[in-house]
Structure 1
Amino acid sequence: MERSEVSELKMAMVSEFLGQLTLSYGTEVEPIFPTVVAYRDFDPISDAARLDAAMRTKGVDEQSIIDILTRRSYEQRREIAFEYERLAKKDLQTALKGALSGSLEALMLGLMKSPAQYDALELKAAMKGLGTDEETLIEIVCSRNNRELVDIQKVYRDLFKKDLEKDVAGDTSGDFANLLLALVQTKRDEPSNVVDYEKIDNDAKSLYDAGVNRKGTDVAVWISILTQRSVAHLQRVFERYKSYSPYDLKESIRKEVKGDLEKSFLTLVECLENKQTYFADRLNEAMKGKSAKDKVVTRILVSRCQVDLMKIRREFKKRHGRSLYRAISVRTVPAEKHHNNNTLINPHL
């Protein structure tokens, strides 16, 4: 087989993996939030044996690896890993590293992590060495809820023997650092059945007075309100804000602050308004043009496939006029391969 043909085949397999994460499997009713669910007829011993055979095959049977690992929940993959180690006398992740390479290796290893483990590793990588990947920090910290952030911090401490808060403080500065640290401290109010209209009005006016209604911006007020109030409360605040300001809150942010702080505030507000819409738009942006960001696409799909990818998928189609499955397939696979890989494009999604 020519090198170009091998490369195209690899691209097709990676595309198929990403596409499979946007589908749901099994005979159960389609879930409301996740797209990867527990497999009903689960047999970890059989799956472990199939994986072992796939990695022993000359050239590696990558399709079998994809089929198994993308159709099992994280808990089931842990059971498979346990049985694999008993069978093959070596760690499954180590075996996957040896058998796979490039994007497919990164994808499979990511899927072997829990959402909290995956996020912790991504955050550590974003702060490793010289320079900081602010985009990744913003995406993860500004989009996770209190429970998710608590889990991430625990895993981060277990993995790296360091506090996430200290690492974020060491790698960022100024108001940008203050915003991220306020989120990491997880002081956001829990949802309440009581609607406090006076507090909603006060918060809306405070946001206006701290920004558009004065010279300079009192960023501390914005940080306090946006990181401590419940999501439902803030959604009402955003609506009330329009009665004070000639601009909505996102327009106000663009006028008042710049750089990483602007990106952080915008991401936070977008996630508070509709987290799935934020991820749908981020995926669409990441797949545009020649500068497509495969790492961003992979991170969102892997980290959200057991959380809310079903809703993200629906938002993507509503906002961008095509299925996420199709968008990934068209972007990552050469056009001449489409007819030979019918599983990459599902017109019903």
Structure 2
Amino acid sequence: MAAMGTRGTITQAANFKAEEDVEKFRGAMKGAGTNEAAIIEVVAHRTIAQRQQIKAAYKQSVGKDLEDDIRSELTGNFEKVVVGLMMTATEYDAYELHNAIKGAGTEEACLIDILASRTSDEVRAINEYYKKKYDNTLEDDIAGDTSGMFKRVLVSLTTAGRDTSDKVDEALAAQDAKEIFEAGEARWGTDEVKFLTVLCVRNRKHLLRVFEEYQKVSGKDIEESIKREMSGCLEDVFLAIVKCIRNKHAFFAERLYKSMKGLGTTDSILIRLMVARAEIDMLDIKAEFHKMYGKTLHSFIKGDTSGDYRKILLELCGGDN
């Protein structure tokens, strides 16, 4: 469940009665065809906590899992969005990570998006749920499906060992910046372990100082150096960490933009971000999106997706502003 005081587009529905929503679901899925509009009206306007109550009431009154009935009635991207919305935040992250690893090939973008952006507490909750649900540790599954330094960075992120304090050690920040410079730009070849040690372990405030010091030492922005020194998934994950440390909402806005810009829409990324962030910080992501690209997220989704899948995403977006 989202924490109090969050900046999501989904807020608690007034006069909520789980039993009434169960009847709406049953009516929407009864007979030939499915009333997608009725389903959207419920799932896109209830909080995660309220949807859990609907699931429990459905099982009690119908004797079946609502998620199973949704999967049997819906298809494609619309099904993926609705199924995702019926999960808790931790459950959804674990589900997406498991699919990214166990599906056909590995969806590295999913592993990066989730592990680089979640807090230590969130990662610990994902680890606990993942082990219980899938009878294996997230770390073991990632280690078995990735390789090299990319694997080592992901494994480090799954340990949820980042310092969570606000302490900034000025001397250490200067030293960290110097060591990263000497591990990359100042030498032939790159010592990626030093980047990992700093970027995956230090707290946010400390890292912001490291980035400032790095600019002084190298004359370059840390992101520019990562692009010069790394490639492929390793470059992607280090860039994601830096961007999330600087401005997580801008990171998500960029990911949404790139999922829709160009040839075709990367549905998996678009769906994952809209479902995962709708109740948490979608208002902030929308604001960053408009600031960065001069267009509203709502207008982008409207122009780049189609069908009932688009309708539910537009509801999660919460209006054209």
Regarding TM over 0.5, the answer is yes
Write out per-residue CA displacement over residues 261-296 of structure 1, whole angstroms, 9 at most, x where no aligned residue.
111111111111111101101110110133211111
CA distance change for structure 1 residues 66 and 272 in 2, over 3 Å: closer, same or farther?
A: same
Q: Give how far 1:304 is off.
A: 1.2
The residue identity in structure 2 corresponding to 1:328 is I
* Aligned-partner SS, 1:244: helix
User: Aligned partners of 1:96 and 1:327: how far apart in 2?
Assistant: 28
Normalised to the residue count of structure 2, the TM-score between the two structures is 0.92
Unpaired runs of at least 5, structure 2: none
Is 1:105 equivalent to 2:84 in the alignment? no
2:188 equivalent in structure 1? 215
Write out per-residue CA displacement over residues 83-116 of structure 1, whole angstroms, 9 at most, x where no aligned residue.
1122222211111112211111111001111111
* Aligned-partner SS, 1:38: coil
Q: Is the 8 A contact 1:122 1:136 kept in 2?
A: yes
Q: Give how far 1:31 is off.
A: 6.1
Normalised to the residue count of structure 1, the TM-score between the two structures is 0.85
1:198 equivalent in structure 2? 171
Alignment of 1:1-349 (within 5 A): 32-128=6-102, 131-192=105-166, 194-333=167-306, 349=321
User: Aligned partners of 2:258 and 2:209: how far apart in 1?
Assistant: 28
Q: Give how far 1:345 is off.
A: 10
User: Aligned partners of 2:187 and 2:235: how far apart in 1?
Assistant: 18
Write out per-residue CA displacement over residues 119-150 of structure 1, whole angstroms, 9 at most, x where no aligned residue.
11111111115532222212211121211111
User: Aligned partners of 1:271 and 1:55: how far apart in 2?
Assistant: 40
Q: Is the 8 A contact 1:85 1:92 kept in 2?
A: yes
CA distance change for structure 1 residues 343 and 256 in 2, over 3 Å: closer, same or farther?
A: closer
Task: Give the alignment's Cα RMSD to 1 decimal.
Answer: 2.3
The residue identity in structure 2 corresponding to 1:266 is L
CA distance change for structure 1 residues 215 and 346 in 2, over 3 Å: closer, same or farther?
A: closer
User: Aligned partners of 2:83 and 2:100: how far apart in 1?
Assistant: 17
Deviating runs (4+, > 6 A) in structure 1?
342-347
Q: Is the 8 A contact 1:32 1:311 kept in 2?
A: no
Q: Is the 8 A contact 1:329 1:345 kept in 2?
A: no
User: Aligned partners of 1:100 and 1:46: how far apart in 2?
Assistant: 21
CA distance change for structure 1 residues 149 and 343 in 2, over 3 Å: closer, same or farther?
A: closer
Which structure's CA Rg is the greater one?
A: 1
Q: Is the 8 A contact 1:204 1:240 kept in 2?
A: yes
Unpaired runs of at least 5, structure 1: 1-29
User: Aligned partners of 1:71 and 1:286: how far apart in 2?
Assistant: 24
User: Aligned partners of 1:233 and 1:344: how far apart in 2?
Assistant: 34
Identity, % of aligned positions: 36
User: Aligned partners of 2:145 and 2:121: how far apart in 1?
Assistant: 23
